[in-house]
């Protein structure tokens, strides 16, 4: 499992540091640890571990550039996917709303039928009660 950002601790901002807000990931004093962490993380996410920031040869620099380019391409694919998913969701919202509304109306109609049925059964029972009462008097004599 790769190390976490917390393993490297935040350093106070310096001229050679790239900081996000008040937190600094890398500075001149921890570059070796930071590149190890970044390489481990790259491998974990399926990218080549190619960050060789201390290289003098063009091949190593090219590998580093290719790794960064891969990350940028993945980021662009993520953005494109999110935009596409959001557009599809927006197109589907009216159908989802209509379907939900139809289901709700259907549920209300079913409840109304149940209420009508119960009221009808109660009315029928009310109409039959006098006859049942009269019939029970006949058997008492």
Q: Which pLDDT score, from 0 to 100, does residue 134 have?
A: 57
Residues 41 and 98 in one domain: no
State how many domains the chain has: 2
Q: Domain of 90?
A: 50-141
Cα–Cα distance measured from residue 39 to residue 50, given in angstroms and rounded to the nearest whole number: 7
Residues 87 and 72 in one domain: yes
Residues 27-39, mean pLDDT to the nearest whole number: 85
The residues pairing with 26 across neighbouring beta strands, listed in sequence order, are: 18
C-alpha dihedral (102, 108, 114, 120), degrees to nearest 10: -110
Domain boundary among 11, 31, 49: 49
Residues 60 and 121 in one domain: yes
Instruction: Evaluate if pTM is beyond 0.85.
Output: no
Between 129 and 65, the higher pLDDT residue: 65
Q: Which pLDDT score, from 0 to 100, does residue 114 have?
A: 92
């Amino acid at each position: 499992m790769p190390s976490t950002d917390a393993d490297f601790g935040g350093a106070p901002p310096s001229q050679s540091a790239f900081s996000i807000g008040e937190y600094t990931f890398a500075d001149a004093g921890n570059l070796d640890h930071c590149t190890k962490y970044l390489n481990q993380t790259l491998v974990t996410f399926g990218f080549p571990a190619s960050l060789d920031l201390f290289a003098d040869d063009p091949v190593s620099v090219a590998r580093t550039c290719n790794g960064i380019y891969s990350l940028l391409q993945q980021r662009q694919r993520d953005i494109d996917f999110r935009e596409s998913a959001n557009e599809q969701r927006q197109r589907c919202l009216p159908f989802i709303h209509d379907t939900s509304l139809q289901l709700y109306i259907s549920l209300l109609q079913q409840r109304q039928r149940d209420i009508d049925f119960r009221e009808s059964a109660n009315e029928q029972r009310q109409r039959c009660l006098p006859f049942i009462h009269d019939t029970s008097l006949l058997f008492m004599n």
